[in-house]
Structure 1
Amino acid sequence: MQVETGNWTSLSQVYLINCSLTGRIPAAIGSLTPLKELHLSGNLLTGPIPAEIGNLTALTKLDLGHNSLSGSIPPEIGKLSNLTSLDLSLNSLKGTMSELHFANLAKLDVLYLYRNSLDIAIGHDWIPPFQLETIGLDSCRLGPSFPGWLRSQESVVDLNLSNTSIEDTLPDWFWNSSSSSLMVINLSHNKISGTLPASLESLTNLMLLNLSSNLFQGLVPVSPPLLQALDLSSNALSGPLPSTFAPVSGYLFFANNHINGSIPSYVCTLQQLFALDLSHNQISGEIPRCWQEANELLFINLANNKLGGKVPNSIGNLTKLKSLHLNNNSLHGYLPPSLQNCSQLAVIDLGRNHFWGNIPAWIGQSFRSLEVLLLRSNMFSGDIPPQLGQLSDLQIIDLADNKLSGIIPRSFGNFSAIISMSKSMSSTSTTHTNVYSVFRESITLSMKGHELTFSSILYLVKSIDLSKNYLTGAIPTEIGYLSALQSLNLSRNGIGGMIPSTIGGMKSLETLDLSFNNLSGAIPQNLSGLNYLSDLNLSYNNLSGAIPSGYQLQTLPASSYIGNAYLCGPPVSKSCLEKTNINATDEEVEEGFHASFSFYFGITLVSEYPVSAACCLNRICSAFEQKWRNA
């Protein structure tokens, strides 16, 4: 559908939102002079904003957001002196906006220009004619200086200057009482430096403060009384957390700083707390033991700290918990049985600690929504519980580097999420949102010899890692049912038997590591049909025979097969015509060779040289046998 102005000349309001409109905004729109409101957001409009739009001097609201408009913003917009709301967000607009665009917009109180490639070139001392309430300029360019014209804006409620190329300190006036109207501040993803005031209590209406991904130093300040969401992650803040916090806090993010001390006990009593992220700091002590049943926590991330002790039994009171990250600490002991009360868990990462004992069978019975299970680098022992195979949503399993023994359960072929190409993690476990904050899951996996972190595409990852244990037995054929699996690592165990041919049906495999085991026999021919396989390691086993022909396996490096003395054919240097029957005695080899050689050459010589064949055959055989002995 295209925009046609037709006989709209008497219209005062136009609402065509999310109507799949295409094409350009026609210049004739400038003839609709009685128009007071124009809403064309959420369409597929392209091309520039026509300069004729400046003729619509009666306009109070102009909304062209969420289209594909391009080019620069015409300065004629500055003629719209009755405009109260301007929304050009989420387009492909570029160029510079100066005072000329805003000089006559005295009634403007809503300005949305975010997610464009615009330079907002306004003089530091310029005093605007308007008093804005809502400012959304994220992803525009305002820096490097902090915009001084904001000092005159005393009615701002919602301020978003995220990712605006600011490289400056925050001026003192920003925190004074003139900012008491502010409810939302987002200055994230800049290079703002300096320290935060000891207290933000003067910001009495502030509900969200996002200063993440900047260069702030010093202590974490005391929070405003009504604060519901605080994100100070990825700065250089240090020292302990404050002794009190706003009782209505819903989201507290302090990740990637230099915060030390212990976790304050008030985190247990914040009954509206949905998410707590203290990861990648220097926090020590133990996990608080005071978790209460009346708790809304969905997300806890305490990873990469210096926490010790055991996981407290009170963790079982967090019955709404969906994600638990305790990895990379010094926690120890058995997993508390109370944890099974957290039956809504979708992500569990307890890797790189000192947990011991058996992996509890109740993990496979209680966590029916579990999608990610990471227990890597602990001291778990005993068998892998076959009950894990009951977790139909599980698609990332990492039990590597423990002391697990026994066989790989055949039930591992039952993971529905890894059998299906289309099934992936639910949005509730990969992205958590509310009106104040958005955050994604992020996990680190060892794949292809590297530590890889997945966040935005985590829901697509399907991986099993059981390496560096004491597993024995054969690889179950049922593993081959996991046709959507991308990475399988069973290396450094005691697994024997042959490689099951069903692995050739795992058409999504990108990484296969079966190295340092006791596998024997031939490599299945159908592995050559794994077209996505880019990282293969079958080294240091007892495999024998010819490497399957076909494009994929023979283009991988020879190091993929090293340590298998009886494999032959490209890409290894050993020819399949060489002696390969290494289990027979010398006498058996000679006898078998003599018989086959005599039979073959006998037929050849008799057919080609019938007269001389009989007299020459014994001489040739004797000479070849002598050469074989000397080889």
Structure 2
Amino acid sequence: MKRLDNLCSLESLNLMSTNLNYKFNDIIQSFSKCPHKALTSLQLSENHVWGSIPDNIGAFSFLRVLELYENQLNGTISQSLGKLTMLEGLDLSYNYLNGTLTTTHLSNLYKLRDLNLFPNTEIVVNISANWIPPFQLDTLILKSCKVGPYFPRWIITQKYLSEIDISNAGISDTIPISFWNSSLWPGIRYLDMSLNMIYGTIPDVSIIFDNLPQIKLGYNLLEGVIPSFLRNNVSTLYLNNNKFSKGLIPFLCPHIQTPLSDLDLSSNLISEKLPDCWSYFDQLIHLHLENNNLWGGLPNSMGALNQLGGLHFSNNNLSGSLPASMVNCTSLVILDLANNSLIGHIPPDFGHSLRNLVVVTLQSNRFVGVLPTSFCYLSFLQILDLSNNYISGTIPRCLYKLASMANTEDDSSPLLGYYLGQNPNDDARVMWKRNEQTFGRSYSSPLGILSVFVDNNPLTLLKGIDLSNNKLEGHIPDGISSLIGLKFLNLSRNNLTGGIVSRIGQLTSLEFLDLSHNRLSGEIPPSLTQISSLSILDVSYNNLTGKIPVGTQLQSFDALSYIGNPGLCGAPLSKCAGDEAPAITRIGDGKQDTKDDFMLGLYISVVLGFIVGFWGVCGTLILKRSWRHAYFRFYENTRDKIYVIWVVKIARAWRRP
């Protein structure tokens, strides 16, 4: 780092995004020979500056702005920071700082207006709850710092705050009533205290908001009645993943138009009838009420939500049929009514009216009737899940018209991409490879830090059809092979007949295919071997016959993927007839063969010689009497001669002196 002491009169130094790679202390030392540090603004953000905030930072007594965000600072913050009495803005966000921030750092910063330390997860904010700061902040961002376990009550002294973010800060405490009764609310624009363990109730106080704030209190332990004041003149309200249990009807029936555009009350303990007051919320763009115990029917006033892009009512106990007025929700992009008790027919003009639908998940209800052909005209549709219903009839042959599914993953719906770009907090729950997963906007933070509560699966790249566990019959339409962008196709547990589409191999992006528990017949098409991306395949319990095609990974699936088809054979099932390997003839080296032949001839000769010799003599003696008498006379004479010779020899031996 070149010395800057010849620029002692320099008041503002802005080197943002210049690929600096120096230790921060070395940069500060470059001004060491300047008798007076005249700098009022030092902006080094979006570089590779590293090290700690050193002691000599206190020499820059005129400094008003210190911006070091998105660097690689990895040390502590010196208490000399407290000497910067003129400091108005301090932004150290997106670094790796550690250590403890105390009142010593802040007590003399009388003019401080903006403080941002997110997301330095190793910084401990050790400030007494009763401390009275000398400053009045406009922005306070301590997200992901270690602020808790106690609620930072010193915030209540701030009168001009417009942005407060103390989310994911380890707070395990109640919110004091004095916080809600403080004077900070008229100017507030953003309040985020989510991802803590804040418990207790929120009093229903009278607060006037002037700036349509965003209020996020999700992922805590708040309980009791949903506070009605939080929907007055508020643009965004997240109370999801808490323990609120009542107050839905007064909250949703204000008898006055509200400006709410984003409302999330999901994953609570609300057990009430869904009220018919939606005409007061005609500005809503996202509505999340899933994972509660709501009951009753979908009210007709839902039709007033003509700007609604995402409707999420899954995992409740809603009943009745889809209201006819829902066709007025022409802005719908994501419709999720899964896991309820809805009945009746799907309106035949459903696809003609709601032309912007990209995600439709109606699974696990009690819908009956046929699948409307109007679905074929949903050109932006990427996910259709009607599984676990009582839908009958045939699969519409016009499915090939689903333009978005007919494109590859690189040509995903521009409508969905735009929608998620404008509404990054919306998402969709999808059955993906037999597990329910959340898909939303794909993004990553500059430090790669993602909340454990946020899925990072890109919804824009997912395309699929799930019509499983219904009463569908007839053939699988050939046009389904034109939907080459499909990632999953599940037609299992129906009454489908005929063969598997011969050109199914054109679905080269397919990762999940389940055709099990139908009455499909014929052979498995050889083109299936062209799908190299398949990770789950199930064609079990049909009437398929013939040999399983050999190629790619079809043999890598276990036998459970194919069982229940008595006429099916080939790996990984048993071998097909005619597949037995021919007998193998051993061909030796000539010498071994010659030796084996010789030994065999020798054994045969010995046996034959014995038989011929034995019966040649004995047989003759038995059959011819004269020869037999002569033989025995010869035998007796020979015996007598031998006896006489041995007796004479013994006598002579005794007579010898």
Does the CA-based 8 Å contact 1:431-1:439 persist in structure 2?
no
Could you say if the C-alpha distance between residues 144 and 285 of structure 1 is closer, same or farther in structure 2, counting changes exceeding 3 Å? closer
Aligned counterparts, 1:45-444, within 5 A: 45-49=48-52, 51=54, 52-124=56-128, 127-147=132-152, 149-150=154-155, 153=158, 155-177=160-182, 183=188, 184-199=190-205, 201=207, 207-223=213-229, 226-241=233-248, 243=250, 264-266=252-254, 269-280=256-267, 281-288=269-276, 291=279, 295-418=282-405, 419-424=407-412, 426-430=416-420, 433=423, 439-443=425-429
The corresponding residue for 2:575 is 575
Inter-CA distance 67–220: structure 2 relative to 1 (3 Å threshold): same
How is 1:574-593 mapped onto 2 (pairs within 5 angstroms)? 574-577=574-577
Preserved contact between residue 86 and residue 111 of structure 1 (Cα < 8 Å): yes
2:492 counterpart letter in structure 1: S
Deviation readout 1:335-390 (Å, 9 max, x if unpaired): 34432222221112233344444433422222221101122233433432333222
Aligned partner of residue 474 in structure 2, secondary structure: coil
Q: State which structure, 1 or 2, has the greater radius of gyration over its C-alpha atoms.
A: 2
Shift of 1:541: 0.6
Q: Measure how far apart 1:6 and its partner are.
A: 9.1
The AA in structure 2 aligned to 1:66 is E
- Shift of the 579–543 alpha-carbon distance from structure 1 to 2, 3 Å rule, reads farther
The alpha carbon displacement at 1:325 in A equals 2.7
> Counting helix residues as a fraction of each chain, which structure ranks higher?
2
Asked if 2 retains the 8 angstrom alpha-carbon contact of 1:462 and 1:487, the reply is yes
1:155 Cα deviation after fit: 4.9
Instruction: Work out whether residues 3 and 22 of structure 1, in 8 Å CA contact, stay in contact via their aligned partners in 2.
Output: no
Closer, same or farther: CA 173–442 of 1 in aligned 2, 3 Å = same
Amino acid at match of 1:45: H
1:165 deviates by 0.8
Tell me the equivalent position of 2:634: none
Structure 1 residue runs without a partner (length 5+): 246-263, 581-599, 602-631
What CA distance in whole angstroms lies between the structure 2 residues aligned with 1:152 and 1:341? 48
Structure 1, 482-491 or 233-242: larger mean CA deviation: 233-242
State how 1:394-543 maps to structure 2 within 5 Å: 394-418=381-405, 419-424=407-412, 426-430=416-420, 433=423, 439-443=425-429, 445-455=430-440, 456=455, 457=457, 458-543=459-544
Q: How far, CA to CA, are the matches of 2:349 and 2:210 in structure 1?
A: 47
Q: Distance in 2 between matches of 1:49 and 1:354?
A: 59
CA distance in structure 1 between the aligned counterparts of 2:277 and 2:62, rounded to whole angstroms = 63
TM-score by length of 1: 0.78
Q: What SS does the aligned partner of 1:48 have? A: strand
CA RMSD of aligned residues (A): 3.3
Contact 2:235 2:261 in 1 (8 A): no
- 8 Å CA contact retained: 1:209, 1:230: yes
- Count of aligned pairs: 552
How far the C-alpha of 1:508 sits from its partner, in A, is: 2.1
Partners of 2:389 and 2:2 in 1: how far apart?
Answer: 64
Label 1:301 to 1:431 Cα distance change in 2 as closer, same or farther (>3 A): farther
Specify every segment of 5 or more residues in structure 2 that has no aligned partner in the other structure, as ranges: 32-36, 441-454, 584-657
Question: Which of 301-310 and 186-195 deviates more?
Answer: 301-310
Residue deviations 1:470-512, cap 9 Å, x none? 2222222322222221111000112122222322222222211
Cα shift at 1:519: 1.4
**Structure 1 residue aligned with 2:19:** 21
Instruction: After superposition, give the CA deviation of every residue in 1:523-550 in whole Å (9 maximum; x if it has no partner).
Output: 2233234333222111101112222223
The 10-residue stretch of structure 1 (496-505 or 482-491) with the greater mean CA deviation from structure 2: 496-505
Contact 1:507/1:532 (CA < 8 Å) preserved in 2? yes
Report if aligned partners of 2:143, 2:169 keep a CA contact under 8 Å in 1. Answer: yes
Counterpart Cα distance in 1 of 2:151 and 2:293: 37
SS in 1 for 2:480: helix
Find the aligned partners of 2:159 and 2:343 in 1 and give their Cα distance.
58
Distance 1:386 1:141 in 2: 56
Q: 1:204 to 1:346 in 2, by over 3 A?
A: closer
1: distance between equivalents of 2:370 and 2:513? 23
* Distance change >3 Å, CA 47–CA 226, structure 1 → 2: same
SS in 2 for 1:528: helix
d(CA) in 2 for partners of 1:287 and 1:428? Answer: 32
